[in-house]
């Protein structure tokens, strides 16, 4: 589908003329919103890479709640590729979310879990069928504010034909861009990390997002999470983003999901 030329307009006019394109979904966590300039936009692929146990899935579930508040009467599509969807944890987070927004009638009157549409996929053909067939049909009849793929890594781990894999990446992202242009939804994916060792020193080990350069070149914005040994604090770092500056912040995971570490420390001190 080719985009029709809509005519030139000024930088300020485009914000009102095409407001849906620039809408952002807040994380509901101050540190993440500060790092990203307000959350996840409705264009491009937003990736969150991180260590096991860094809270990627819990951040995704928190977004599934906040997206419904950001876009009234919308639903969220959650494609899970690694494990069964943690429904019990979601219900706990939803209860905490409502407790924290007790004065908001829109939050209190909504059953958020009923509007998170979950699909489990385990391999590339199933993922492609979901994104190219079932998801577009759903978009035609349901207002979707956010697509989550948790994680993009798992279906591709056994793929050894790297040329074919790179072509599949491009096909998926191109299709998602087309659908975003039509329906103005945000796309959030999680990614695993792998350890690499500096070949010069053989001891400079670091974790980098999986799937290599072929995937990285297609990602619009990337944040990376890491755990801090001996502390409940976890670190979030801006890796790249067209409108973001290099920065980092700290967060924790509690009953409500991800929270700003500074706020959590203050809460613990006051308690």
Q: Considering just the CA atoms, what is the radius of gyration of the chain in Å?
A: 19
In whole angstroms, what is the distance from residue 75 CA to residue 68 CA? Answer: 6
Task: Taking residues 20-27, report their average pLDDT.
Answer: 83
Spell out the residues 6+ positions from residue 119 whose beta carbon is closer than 8 angstroms to its own.
77, 78, 79, 80, 130, 134
Contact 211/191 with Cβ under 8 angstroms? yes
- Judge whether residue 42 has pLDDT over 60: yes
Superfamily (CATH H level) for 23-260? P-loop containing nucleotide triphosphate hydrolases (3.40.50.300)
Average confidence (pLDDT) over 215-240: 91
Confidence band for 1, pLDDT divided at 50, 70 and 90: very low
Rounded CA separation 3/181 (Å): 8
- Residue 209 buriedness (CB in 10 A; 0-12 / 13-18 / 19+): buried
Residue 257, helix vs strand vs coil: strand
By CB atoms closer than 10 A (0-12, 13-18, 19+), residue 253 is middle
Residues in the chain, total? 271
Q: With a cut of 60, say whether residue 199 has pLDDT above it.
A: no
> How far apart, in whole angstroms, are the C-alpha atoms of residue 197 and residue 42?
36
Give the strand pairing for 116-120 and 144-150.
unpaired
**CB neighbourhood size of 117 (10 A):** 15
How confident is the model at residue 267, as a pLDDT?
53
Coil vs helix vs strand at 13: helix
- 152-185 pLDDT, tens digit per residue, is 999 998 888 999 999 999 999 999 999 999 999 9
pLDDT for residue 206: 77
Dist CA 182 CA 135 (whole Å): 13
Q: How many CB atoms lie within 10 A of CB 170?
A: 14
User: What confidence score (pLDDT) does residue 249 get?
Assistant: 94
Half-sphere exposure of 208 (CA within 13 A, CB side): 11
Residues 77-113 have pLDDT tens digits of 999 998 889 999 999 999 999 999 898 888 898 999 9
Q: Which residue has the tokens 């914005």?
A: 221
| pLDDT recorded at residue 19 | 63
């Amino acid at each position: 589908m080719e985009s029709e030329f809509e005519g030139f307009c000024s930088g300020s006019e485009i914000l009102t003329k095409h407001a849906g394109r620039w809408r952002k979904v807040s994380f509901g966590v101050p540190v993440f919103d500060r790092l990203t300039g307000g959350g996840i936009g409705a264009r491009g692929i937003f990736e969150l890479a991180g260590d096991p146990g860094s809270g990627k899935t819990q951040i995704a579930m928190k977004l599934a709640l906040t997206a419904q508040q950001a876009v009234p009467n919308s639903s969220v599509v959650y494609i899970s590729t690694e494990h069964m969807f943690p429904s019990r944890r979601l219900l706990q987070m939803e209860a905490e979310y409502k407790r924290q927004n007790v004065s908001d009638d829109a939050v209190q009157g909504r059953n958020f879990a009923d509007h998170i549409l979950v699909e489990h996929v385990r391999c590339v053909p199933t993922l492609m069928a979901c994104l190219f067939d079932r998801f577009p049909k759903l978009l035609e009849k349901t207002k979707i504010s956010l697509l989550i793929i948790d994680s993009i890594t798992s279906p591709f781990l056994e793929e050894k034909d790297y040329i074919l894999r790179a072509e599949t990446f491009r096909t998926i992202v191109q299709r998602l861009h087309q659908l975003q242009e039509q329906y103005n939804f945000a796309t959030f994916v999680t990614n695993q990390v792998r350890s690499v060792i500096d070949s010069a020193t053989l001891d400079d080990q670091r974790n980098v997002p999986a799937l290599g350069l072929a995937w990285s070149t297609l990602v619009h914005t990337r944040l990376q999470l890491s755990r801090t040994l001996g502390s409940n604090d976890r670190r979030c770092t801006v890796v790249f983003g067209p409108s973001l500056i290099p920065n980092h912040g700290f967060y924790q995971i509690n009953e409500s999901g991800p929270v700003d570490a500074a706020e959590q420390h203050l809460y613990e001190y006051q308690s």
